[in-house]
Amino acid sequence: MQQTYENVFSAFVDICKSVEPKKQTEERLKTTETNITFPLFDAPPVAFGTTKGGSWDNALITIANTLSSETNKRRTFYVDDKIAIVYDPYAKAKMHLLCIYRSNIDNPTQLKTEHVELLKHAHTIAKQVAAHLRVDMMIGYHAIPSMRRLHFHIISRDLVSDCIKNKKHYNSFATDFFLPCDKVLTELESKGKVTIDKTKYENLLKNDLKCHRCKSSQKNIPKLKEHLEQCNK
Ligand code: AMP
């Protein structure tokens, strides 16, 4: 009799374990802070449908102008009338999204006081996305973006990716070249503009490789990657 009870109890525990992941998945679909329902993070394969045609640095403008195409729907994580958050096709970390503004602003130096509310909106949504993903994320702008159309990165702090191929890729996220979104907004609010010292920021990309977590020097990208496997734990 006791054996039967034990068997029934053990089967019950197994059932509970098997439903647990599903319950968590459903919970992850809702953020607690707003009514927005975000999807699970489900990045398309690397370089899925990267925008072709026209100049390469216009790819984000093309995406913003063709959000309803089937390819762009597949790579869109969130969209509203002001911003589109898309999977970065060359993710520089385990999770990497780009928030692209839909208004015709090229880069941070074009920002004016009239854009403060727009930035607040975008940053708020981005922070909610980061909270929803439940992973340590960094949210910020590249001081000197390579792509036209104002955008910022929502990227997990691991910085582990096959797409990090050189010092410039890594330093663009691991140094002050990466401008936290709150810093950009504060400067815009206080000064009415965002000023970028080009030489200073270009030099940061040439910095020697240093782990962004423990600041230890790293000889080269393969060594850095090996180190990050441990340091990220
Ligand atoms: P940045 O301009 O430096 O702030 O970053 C531009 C981002 O756009 C990078 O993270 C790239 O991986 C990403 N990117 C590059 N080419 C494309 C493309 N064709 N479509 C979408 N994103 C791209």
Quickly count: other Cβ atoms within 10 Å of residue 126's Cβ.
Answer: 22
Could you tell me the distance, in angstroms and rounded to a whole number, from the CA of residue 158 to the centre of ligand 1? 18
pTM: 0.86
Q: Which amino acids bring their CB within 6 angstroms of ligand 1?
A: 50-51, 59, 88-90, 98, 142, 145-147
Residues 6 or more apart whose CB falls under 8 angstroms from that of 31 comprise 37, 38, 128, 131, 132
Q: Which of 76, 85, 146 to mutate to test the pocket of ligand 1 (most atoms within 8 A of CB)?
A: 146
Q: Tell me, yes or no, whether 89 lies in a domain.
A: yes
Residues 6 or more apart whose CB falls under 8 angstroms from that of 89 comprise 44, 46, 47, 48, 49, 50, 75
Per the DSSP assignment, residues forming a β-bridge with 83 are: 101
pLDDT in tens, 19-58: 333 333 433 444 444 679 999 999 998 767 666 667 889 9
List the one residue out of 189, 182, 80 whose CA is nearest residue 140: 182
Q: Tell me, yes or no, whether 117 lies in a domain.
A: yes
Annotated active-site residue in 115, 132, 142, 151: 151
List the one residue out of 209, 231, 215, 203 whose CA is nearest residue 165: 209
Q: Tell me, yes or no, whether 214 lies in a domain.
A: yes
Amino acid 46: pLDDT: 72
List the one residue out of 109, 190, 104 whose CA is nearest residue 144: 109
Quickly count: other Cβ atoms within 10 Å of residue 164's Cβ.
Answer: 22
Mean pLDDT over residues 194-202, rounded? 98
Q: Tell me, yes or no, whether 73 lies in a domain.
A: yes
Could you tell me the distance, in angstroms and rounded to a whole number, from the CA of residue 59 to the centre of ligand 1? 8
H or E element in which residue 86 lies: strand 83-87
Amino acid 67: pLDDT: 95
Could you tell me the distance, in angstroms and rounded to a whole number, from the CA of residue 47 to the centre of ligand 1? 10
Task: Give the distance between the most distant pair of CA atoms in the chain.
Answer: 80
Q: Which of 147, 150, 202 to mutate to test the pocket of ligand 1 (most atoms within 8 A of CB)?
A: 147
Instruction: Decide if 151 is catalytic.
Output: yes
Which letter, b or e, does each residue of 198-217 get, where b requires 16 or more Cβ atoms within 10 Å of its Cβ?
eeebeebbeeebbbbeeeee
List the one residue out of 158, 154, 174 whose CA is nearest residue 166: 174
Please say if the pLDDT value at position 9 is more than 60: no
Could you tell me the distance, in angstroms and rounded to a whole number, from the CA of residue 25 to the centre of ligand 1? 29
Q: Tell me, yes or no, whether 19 lies in a domain.
A: no
Backbone torsion region of residue 54, taken as left when φ is above 0, otherwise alpha when ψ lies between -120 and 50, otherwise beta: left
Q: What percent of the chain has pLDDT over 90?
A: 79
Mean pLDDT over residues 161-185, rounded? 98
Atom of ligand 1 nearest to the CA of 56: 19
Atom of ligand 1 nearest to the CA of 151: 4
List the one residue out of 103, 174, 106 whose CA is nearest residue 145: 106
Could you tell me the distance, in angstroms and rounded to a whole number, from the CA of residue 147 to the centre of ligand 1? 6
Q: Which CATH number fits the domain that encloses residue 227?
A: 3.30.428.10
Given a contact cutoff of 8 angstroms between Cβ atoms, the answer to whether 154 and 124 are in contact is no
pLDDT in tens, 49-78: 666 667 889 999 999 999 999 989 999 999
pLDDT in tens, 208-231: 999 999 999 999 999 999 999 999
Question: Which residue is closest in CA terms to ligand 1's atom 11?
Answer: 90
Enclosing domain of residue 147: 38-231
Cα separation, 113 vs 57, whole angstroms: 26
Q: Tell me, yes or no, whether 145 lies in a domain.
A: yes
Q: Tell me, yes or no, whether 101 lies in a domain.
A: yes
HSE (side-chain half, CA atoms, 13 Å) at 74: 11
Mean pLDDT estimate for the chain: 88
Please say if the pLDDT value at position 169 is more than 80: yes
At 43, which amino acid appears? Answer: A
- Tokens describing residue 8: 């029934």
Atom of ligand 1 nearest to the CA of 57: 16
Total tally of structural domains belonging to the chain: 1
Q: Tell me, yes or no, whether 123 lies in a domain.
A: yes
Question: Which residue is closest in CA terms to ligand 1's atom 1?
Answer: 145
